[in-house]
Amino acid sequence: MSESLSTAAKALQPELVRLRRDLHREPELGLELPRTQDKVLNALDGLPLEVTAGERLTSVTAVLRGARPGPTVLLRGDMDALPVTERGDADLISRTPGRMHACGHDLHTAMLAGSARLLAGRRDRLAGNVVFMFQPGEENAGGARIMLEEGVLDAAGERPVAAYALHVSSAVVPQGLFVSRGGPIMAAADRLRVTVRGTGGHGASPHLARDPLPAACEMVSALQSMVTRAKAADMAFFTGPDAKRFSGGAGYRVETAPAVRMFLMFNERSGHPGADEKVRRAIAQAVDPAAFGNAAALGRGERLTSIAEAAVPCVSKDASLLVKPDAAAARKALSGLKVTVAGTNAIAGGAGNTYVQAALRAAGADAELRNLDNATWSTEVLGNQGDWDVNVMAHLNLTLTMTNPASLFAGEPAPKGRNVGGVRNPGIAKGMGAALATTDETAKCEAWARAQRALLERVHAVPLTAVNTTYVFGGRVDAMLPGGLFDISTLVLK
């Protein structure tokens, strides 16, 4: 009885590991891979294959003809490396500075050579032909196109009925697991050159010029946020208007929800500038919510009128309660004032935090920024274990209620309670208590209105923007969005 394919593969493993490491130590770029080609030819030597080398590139094409009639199938592996400098164990890393097999093509090449060895050993049972395509120039060099032009699809005398390739993804997929999908998979890259033309002008009259830089920057931001490969995906997330293409489309579920609600909070404990209502009001006057929204959400968020978005029951929509931007008034109170701004960098890299610091500096304040990772921000700011005066709050509100954000301004101060800034305003707590004590919806909203009036009139918070995310699910998948957030544990295949 002949050994199984898996047993033969395991026996071949040490040889393929050596081949992969040899390839990894000597990476080559583009279409010319002479040392890589030599290693492949040596690995195939002695097998019953019809081997052909490329003419315009260092490709290798090998044909295995089965002992029985059947269709032709093509197996493909790429061989080129990337212009990257590798650091690590000197015995294993690339020996050529500035070149590295960072995309796994060394493994693909070894896998394909191993496949040729395994299938050649079973030629007597093979029905049909196998074409092994060792391709240079996968990384933007057009190697596949040249191999097609040189006849790789006709190497066996008839066109393949199917072509197969694998791509290692060790950082994403657990070892031993194969993943695929119907339709397109993986990514491709193209280049687009755009020239934005403006007209010059005088610095004293910039309104008469046409500055191409803002337009070019907006184009870059919009293109970066657009998921151009949405048709190849089962689900996609958008932070801009690009999801409109799916609206009303058959087979798509489209859900838009605020991912985070952003507003300013103050450390109102003794010794901090936020303990003074006049300072809180001046900071609110210095910060323009529209400019903040442009920084944190590319201008695509929902302008908040309270500490929750408009869809939350009983939220205040009374804009008269909000402090209007007034740079001149802000300067009178903030000039020379030391203020520490803190926020998470998880939202747009902390761009909104940076804007708040810049706005306070423009108003004359000596503003320091602490742009923190989520863990540090949660501990030092939300838990009040660190130094901060102004918190750029990014709130999830998973319950979609007023209770969740309002509890950040009432009760026991952090770290014992949820009262982040140590706010002392009986009106907030009284309104909350009345809202939670009744089941009558009208009475509940009236109570919440009183609580929000107490909060906003005393400037315990400065509402800014809700960063909206649109989720598009294709016909094959579905998931739940508790509080506007995608929960991967609820993802199901239909």
CB-count exposure of residue 453 (10 Å: 0-12, 13-18, 19+): middle
pLDDT at 485: 65
- For 175, the 3-state DSSP assignment is coil
Domains, the chain, ordered by start: 5-165 (3.40.630.10), 257-468 (3.10.105.10)
140 token code pair? 């933007």
pLDDT at 212 over 70: yes
Q: How confident is the model at residue 230 (pLDDT cuts 50, 70, 90)?
A: very low
Cβ-Cβ contacts under 8 Å for 287 (sequence gap 6 or more): 264, 325, 355, 356, 359, 360, 462, 464
Residue 1: per-residue pLDDT: 39
Q: Identify whether the C-beta of residue 61 lies closer than 8 Å to the C-beta of residue 155.
A: yes
Report the C-alpha gap between 264 and 242 in whole angstroms: 29
Among all chains, which residue has been given the structure tokens 């009760």?
A: 411
Mean pLDDT of 96-106: 91
Q: What average pLDDT score do residues 167-172 get?
A: 74
- Asked whether the predicted pLDDT for residue 190 surpasses 80, the reply is no
Percent above pLDDT 90 for the chain: 60
Q: What is the pLDDT of residues 116-148, one digit of tens each?
A: 999 999 999 999 999 999 999 998 778 999 999
Spatial CA neighbour of 322 closest among 429, 423, 461: 461
**Residue 174, Cβ density class (10 Å: 0-12 exposed, 13-18 middle, ≥19 buried):** exposed
478 beta partners: 492
Mean pLDDT of 384-409: 91
User: Please, what's the largest Cα pairwise distance for the chain?
Assistant: 92
Per-residue pLDDT at 436 exceeds 80: yes
pTM score, whole prediction: 0.54
At 181, the pLDDT band (50, 70, 90 cuts) reads low
Give the separation between CA 431 and CA 358, rounded to whole angstroms: 35
For CA atoms 97, 103, 107, 111, the dihedral sign is: negative
The string of pLDDT tens digits covering residues 84-97 is 888 877 778 899 98
Rg of the chain in Å (alpha carbons) = 31
Kindly report the average pLDDT of the chain as a whole number: 88
Does residue 308 have a pLDDT over 70?
Answer: yes
